[in-house]
Amino acid sequence: MDPTIQALHDYWCSLREGLPPRRKAFEFMDIYKLAPNLLLSERVAPATFRFAYCGTTVADNLPRDLTGLVFAPQTARVTAVDFAQLYMEILGTPCWRFTRYAVDWPNAEYGSYLLGAGPLADEDGTLKYVLSCAVFQEKSPFAPRV
């Protein structure tokens, strides 16, 4: 596993106490070195998520900074990834998810990215937030440059 994603996963697990961690237990300062790779979103309505935080590495390498953007099934996507669907799946199970996506927008340096994500609960224990970490992977030297 990628060490950056592993570090966030380990931190998330340390907050669990057998249940998905509460949002109030998550402290950016505890893992500030990972902040450039982090995303934090909040479910604001059924299948609708607002990005509360998008780290600089993620913002610099996606087609746009996601901070403050709202994604729902009818929202135009910034990538082929359907964030609303992915995050609904993550909130549907109280476990950590790992996945890899191809970079599907012009990017001269990266060809794919790894994503690790897990749910966070609100004060009532309802899974409402998704904490994730994106790590971009360099293109193969044999892949065509965009």
What domain range includes position 108? Answer: 3-138
Q: What was the pLDDT predicted at 142? A: 62
Stretch (H or E) spanning 101: strand 97-102
At 143 the pLDDT is 55
Is there a domain that residue 143 lies in?
no
pTM metric for this prediction: 0.90
Sheet with 48-54: strands ordered across: 70-71, 48-54, 38-45, 127-138, 110-121, 97-102
120: Cα separation from own chain's centroid: 12
Cα separation of 111 and 113, whole Å? 7
In a domain, 83, yes or no: yes
pLDDT (tens digit, 9 = 90+) per residue, 3-54? 999 999 999 999 987 889 999 999 999 999 999 999 999 999 999 999 999 9
Q: Is residue 98 part of a domain?
A: yes
> Residue 57's pLDDT is what?
95
- Count of domains for the chain: 1
Whether 82 is in a domain gets the answer yes
Q: What is the pLDDT of residues 104-134, one digit of tens each?
A: 988 889 999 999 999 999 999 999 999 999 9
